[in-house]
Amino acid sequence: MNDVYFVGWGTLSLINAGLAQSKQRSGLNWFLLSLFLGPVATFLLVTFFRDPPGAY
């Protein structure tokens, strides 16, 4: 059971790093932050950081 938990948490960290890079933020910093905060980091990325100008 614990292995599945760690795999899911690591996957979420990778997703957050990609999401941060798409918003022109540091993927490495957000990856490391996500290792500690997990879903809270996802919430912060989605709600407080907008897409960069000219992204669409």
Domain boundaries, the chain: 2-48
For 7-18, the pLDDT digits (tens) are 889 999 999 999
For 1-43, the pLDDT digits (tens) are 677 788 889 999 999 999 999 888 999 999 999 999 989 999 9
pTM for the whole thing? 0.81
pLDDT of residue 37: 92
pLDDT of residue 5: 81
How large is the greatest C-alpha to C-alpha distance in the chain, in angstroms?
A: 44
**Cα dist. 34→28, 30, 49, 55 in Å?**
10, 6, 15, 24
